[in-house]
Amino acid sequence: MLLGGVATVCASLAPVVFAHVKPADVTYARDVAPILEKRCAGCHAPGGATPALDSYEQARQWARGIKEEVLQRRMPPWSAASGLGDHSNDPRPTLIEIEILTAWADGGTPRGSIDTRAGTIVPAADRRAARAVRFARAHPSRGAIEHVRARFDSDRIWLSGWEYRPGDMRAIQQVVFFADGARIGSWVPSDAVVTYPRSVALPVRHGATITAEFHFRKTRGADIDAGTLWLYSGRGGVEPRYRAFACGTTILQQDVKALTVVPSASEAGAFVEVVARRPDQSVEPMAAVMRYLPAYPATYRFRTPVSLPRGTAIDVRSSAPDCTAGIDFIAMRPARAASPRP
For residue 228, what is the domain's CATH number?
2.60.120.230
pLDDT band at 221 (very low <50, low <70, confident <90, very high): confident
Q: Could you read off the pLDDT of 145-158 as tens digits, one per residue? A: 999 999 999 999 99
Coil, helix or strand for 167? coil
Look at 171-180, 183-192, 226-235, 306-315 and tell me which has the smallest mean pLDDT: 183-192
Phi-psi region of 205 (alpha: psi -120 to 50; beta: other; left: phi over 0): beta
Supply the pTM of this predicted model. 0.72
- Return the H-helix or E-strand segment holding 306: strand 300-308
Cis-peptide, bond into residue 46, ω within 30° of zero = no
Which of 233, 252, 272 is the endpoint of a domain? 233
Which of 233, 268, 285 is the endpoint of a domain? 233
Supply angle C-alpha 57, 61, 63, rounded to 5: 110
pLDDT band at 106 (very low <50, low <70, confident <90, very high): confident
Same domain, 214 and 289: no
Same domain, 7 and 87: yes
State residue 125's pLDDT score: 46
pLDDT band at 331 (very low <50, low <70, confident <90, very high): very high
Residue that wins the pLDDT comparison between 198 and 341: 198
Q: Could you read off the pLDDT of 284-316 as tens digits, one per residue? A: 999 999 889 887 778 899 989 999 999 999 999
State residue 72's pLDDT score: 72
CB 256 within 8 A of CB 325: no
Same domain, 245 and 179: no
- At position 107, the amino acid (one-letter code) is G
Q: Where are any strands of DSSP class E within the chain?
A: 130-134, 137-138, 145-151, 157-165, 172-179, 182-187, 193-195, 202-204, 209-216, 224-225, 228-233, 241-246, 248-251, 256-265, 272-277, 283-289, 300-308, 313-318, 323-331
Same domain, 131 and 64: no
Asked whether the predicted pLDDT for residue 230 surpasses 70, the reply is: yes
The residue length of the chain stands at 342
In-domain check, residue 336: no
For the chain, the farthest-separated pair of C-alpha atoms sits apart, in whole angstroms, at: 81
Same domain, 227 and 135: yes
- The range of the structural domain enclosing residue 33 comes to 2-106
- List Cβ neighbours of 74 (8 Å cut-off, separation of 6 or more): none
In-domain check, residue 119: no
In-domain check, residue 38: yes
In-domain check, residue 42: yes
CB 219 within 8 A of CB 172: no
Same domain, 252 and 271: yes
Same domain, 229 and 248: no
Strand partners of residue 195: 161
- Rg value, the chain, Cα: 22
Among 188, 198, 202, 259, which Cα is nearest to 231's?
A: 202
Same domain, 263 and 284: yes
In-domain check, residue 249: yes
State residue 272's pLDDT score: 94
State residue 169's pLDDT score: 76
State residue 123's pLDDT score: 42
CB 100 within 8 A of CB 317: no
Asked whether the predicted pLDDT for residue 61 surpasses 80, the reply is: yes
CB 297 within 8 A of CB 174: yes
Same domain, 87 and 137: no
In-domain check, residue 111: no
